[in-house]
């Protein structure tokens, strides 16, 4: 299979690349490296089935030929991460909306034969309660909310995808991703699990934004990628929006305590008001747990990665990397 991944050097995108290369597929990854990293794809550069193109999706002149070449497309390119979204509201709207439109438009122009996965986000649910997080529920996005621009851009991506599916027969499924975690995720853009792991291993204070009672549902990226793969080749999913994630719910305080325990850390928990963490007013979103009835009605999937297993994997990877760094340091620096 020939696969195009926009945002292919990013956290989720690089795992999609890895997944398809492991099956012997040919993969082309596009990324402008604004939040992605060449380090994420460095192990794949020696693979003859992999090509990397550094470029901006909004201006890349070879997009049409890349789409025509592809049998499957994952559109993952977007402005992501709490800090980036808050700092770049106009760029978030332009990149996320115009980028998706370009991919869909070129897919239509080239015949709409490729299977297409478009990444949306649980952010579209806003402050709704857990039992309302069904794909068919009414969506309310307030312009005054701090992340309204990101939520609106992702909701627009869903509307764009539905329009192209209904009008042009594009084989597209739009996935609302819930709190994806795993290797290669960076804590520098506001992602909570890698930040907690890093702080716990250093025995530094684990910084909990807000009061810690807010709940989230975390899903390992390797499970996410496997679900996206199945949805992409499921005709019943085309034209639909599907929640993708894990239904287990945990408070952020409990997450911090779990990470501290798995790391055998002496870290204390330090609570930081949202206004201080993000330098602006920020209303706490109390819950994020998906209703997965539609997902399970479309594909048969059993999660392989528990939250504990993922945290243990992240901890072990950081410890191994730390040892490797020390071994590679000159003797004078280790003395």
> What 8-state DSSP symbol labels residue 48?
T
Residue 30 has a CB neighbour count (10 Å cut-off) of 26
CA distance 2 to 143: 40
**Which candidate in 74, 125, 150, 164 is catalytic?**
150
Residue 108 has a CB neighbour count (10 Å cut-off) of 15
CA distance 153 to 96: 6
| Alpha carbon separation from 307 to 200, 218, 297 (Å, rounded) | 16, 7, 24
Contact (Cβ atoms closer than 8 angstroms) between residue 124 and residue 155: yes
Assess whether 150 carries a catalytic annotation. yes
CA distance 286 to 288: 7
CA distance 25 to 69: 13
CB under 8 Å to 68, separation ≥6 — which residues?
A: 106, 110
Catalytic positions are 150
């Amino acid at each position: 299979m020939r696969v195009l991944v926009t945002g292919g050097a990013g956290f989720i995108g690089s795992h999609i690349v890895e997944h398809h290369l492991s099956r012997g597929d040919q993969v082309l990854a596009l990324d402008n490296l604004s939040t992605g990293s060449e380090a994420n794809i460095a192990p794949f550069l020696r693979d003859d089935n992999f090509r990397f193109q550094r470029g901006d999706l909004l201006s890349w002149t070879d997009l049409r030929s890349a789409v025509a070449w592809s049998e499957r497309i994952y559109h993952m390119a977007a402005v992501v991460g709490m800090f980036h979204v808050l700092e770049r509201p106009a760029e978030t709207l332009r990149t996320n909306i115009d980028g998706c439109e370009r991919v869909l438009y070129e897919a239509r122009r080239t015949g709409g034969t490729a299977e297409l996965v478009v990444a949306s986000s649980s952010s579209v649910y806003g402050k709704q309660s857990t039992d309302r997080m069904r794909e068919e529920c009414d969506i309310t996005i307030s312009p005054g909310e701090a992340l309204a621009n990101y939520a609106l851009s992702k909701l627009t991506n869903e509307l764009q995808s539905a329009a192209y599916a209904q009008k042009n027969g594009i084989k597209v499924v739009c996935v609302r991703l819930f709190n994806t975690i795993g290797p290669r995720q960076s804590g520098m853009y506001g992602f909570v699990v890698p930040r907690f792991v890093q702080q716990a291993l250093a025995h530094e204070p684990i910084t909990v934004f807000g009061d810690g009672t807010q709940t989230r549902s975390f899903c390992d990226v390797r499970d996410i990628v496997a679900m996206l793969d199945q949805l992409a080749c499921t005709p019943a999913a085309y034209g639909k929006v599907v929640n993708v994630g894990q239904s287990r719910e945990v408070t952020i305080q409990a997450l911090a305590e779990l990470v501290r325990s798995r790391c055998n850390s002496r870290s204390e928990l330090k609570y930081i008001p949202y206004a201080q963490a993000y330098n602006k007013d920020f209303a706490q979103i109390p819950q994020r747990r998906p209703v997965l009835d539609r997902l399970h009605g479309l594909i048969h999937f059993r999660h392989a990665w528990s939250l504990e297993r993922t945290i243990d994997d992240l901890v072990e990877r950081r410890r191994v990397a730390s040892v490797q760094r020390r071994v590679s340091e000159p003797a004078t620096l280790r003395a």
